[in-house]
Amino acid sequence: MHPRRIRVILPLPLDRSLAGNVRLISIRARLKPGISPEQSAAEMQTIHGRLAKQYPRMYPPDKFTVGVYSLIGNGTRSFRSTLYILLSAVGFLLLIACGNAANLLLARATARQKEIWRSATNRGSA
């Protein structure tokens, strides 16, 4: 099913027996067009407040926090240097491949130089 056609989002089911052991729940989502990260963070804080009031044992305010972060900024911070090294390696391999293709074309053109000269001057195959 195409992701844009999904209209129902179900809550993440948590096993109540694990509630005391859960340290981190990371959820990645795309913001609705026209919604700023600040608006999303405010809505998440409202939901957090409701959960803390309804389930104080499961969601203690001192241990359970919510936040909205940019995936571009925070999602790649820990391995950004690795991504740059990988990008550099791919660029270098592309440069080598282009150099090899140019060399092959130059070698072919050099080998056919006499044939091209004869064709251009209409001398035939003599």
Condensed to tens digits (0 to 9), the pLDDT of residues 44-58 reads 889 888 888 888 877
Cα 16 to chain centroid distance, Å, stands at: 33
Residues of the chain with pLDDT > 90, as a percent, come to 21
Condensed to tens digits (0 to 9), the pLDDT of residues 104-124 reads 999 999 988 888 778 888 776
Condensed to tens digits (0 to 9), the pLDDT of residues 58-90 reads 777 777 778 887 777 666 677 888 889 999 999
The span from the CA of 102 to the CA of 109, in Å, is: 11
Answer yes or no: is pLDDT of 18 > 60.
no
Q: What is the pTM of this model?
A: 0.43
